[in-house]
Chain A
Amino acid sequence: MLAKSEAVILDLLTSRGACYGLQLVDGSGGALKRGGIYVTLGRMEEKGLVTSAPAEGGRRLYEPTALGLRSLVAARILHGDLPLGAKA
């Protein structure tokens, strides 16, 4: 089961590709806060939902993993946003 903030992050990473934490905050329309974004991303990394790599200036770029994408699809189906059998 994905938390709401996790679903928002995976949604943004799926639609925009690899992002910095701050870009996720800016793109979330207020759903994500800059004070909590990296703790959430850290938790998601521990779960294997996202992965990160160091980029310019030591900042990390985050990407969804295959497990993260599957979890997002499952969450969408669960909430009725996608019909069963659909692919993200």
Chain B
Amino acid sequence: MKSLLLATSALTLALSTAALADEAVTKAAVLDTYADIAEAKYADSLATAQALQVAVNALIEAPSAETLDAAKTAWLASRVPYQQTEVYRFGNAIVDDWEGKVNAWPLDEGLIDYVDASYGGPSDENAFAVLNVIANPSLTLSGETVDATEITPELLESTLHEADGVEANVATGYHAIEFLLWGQDLHGTEHGAGERPWTDYAAGDDCTGGNCDRRAAYLKAATDLLVSDLEWMAAQWAEGGEARATVTADEDAGIQAILTGMGSLSYGEQAGERMRLGLMLNDPEEEHDCFSDNTHNSHFYDGQGIQNVYLGSYTRIDGTEVSGASLSDLVAAQDADLDAEMKAKLDTTMGALGAMKEAADGGFSYDQMLARGSEEGEALIMGGVNGLVDQTKTIERIVAALGVTPIEFEGSDSLDNPDAVFH
């Protein structure tokens, strides 16, 4: 009875404190901000992808060291807003169903173009690891002949992407484009990115690597596809779009979606799959942006996306700010200590990811950090991992505190597809 009395008085305290807090913070307002920030982030991703498209067209029109560099610079800029959208994955089915087309990774790049002999051949897992579409106008895929004379967005999207049901067959998106701009990074865990020569796009006898016209066609098709895919997603978050409508339809489910995205990206994806695994395998192939050596930025902006969604404030590429009622406000109204804890942990993570980014920008590249026995690199990467793992614990506390725990169950055939139940 004592504990029940304590609980009851605590409940009274909780309710009165909540009532005293800013009454303007409603779940609906928080969800509006969340959708507004998504709209801005995908619009920024689209704008920077369109700038990339202009640069790619200029490279194809007049191949040179300068136009290739300009395209690389545009690609790097396009990653800044896009990585900040990744926190919208995992919680929003519409994003997950689409994401594989634009940011799939890691890839068996031999599917697309020539690779170094050290890359190896077809593997147990992937019979098409060295298909080399650019060199082969006619392909045999799963026993069927495919006419690849014209390299079109349709060919990449519908025939080549995830060919044979293998996820490493990535034919589209940022990382396919990255490979076509940088080429393979053959420096292992030494400093240095891919060194594709601009002459891989040169006309006539100047062409290196063979099939320069087909390589240009591939690069153009993949870039055009990226732009159209981002156009579609930006529209889903605009006023009247499906993503916005879905996440704002049910307030508790919407808040749950925000937290699911924050937690899944922090723990399983970023801390686990992308950072810790690559470190423990000492394998630069496990880098997220392995061709361009931009992995440190991808990790940093992923972390920043988590933070700015929680704080309800995103700074756009033109410097303007999109902000409004935040999840932070909502948590603070119920439990100010828990909100302070979340903010502090997000700060700690960003401090650690910032230190990693600073070291990489200063010349200690991410692949060097992965090298066997690199204690300094391990400390930088594990600083980020530990911050992300620790913040996940607080995200779980917020899920419990807000009482938005999900009871739906995903990933079971028996539920997703009742016909699959035989017994």
Query: Are these two chains actual partners, yes or no?
Result: no
- On B, residues with C-beta under 8 Å from A are none
- On A, residues with C-beta under 8 Å from B are none
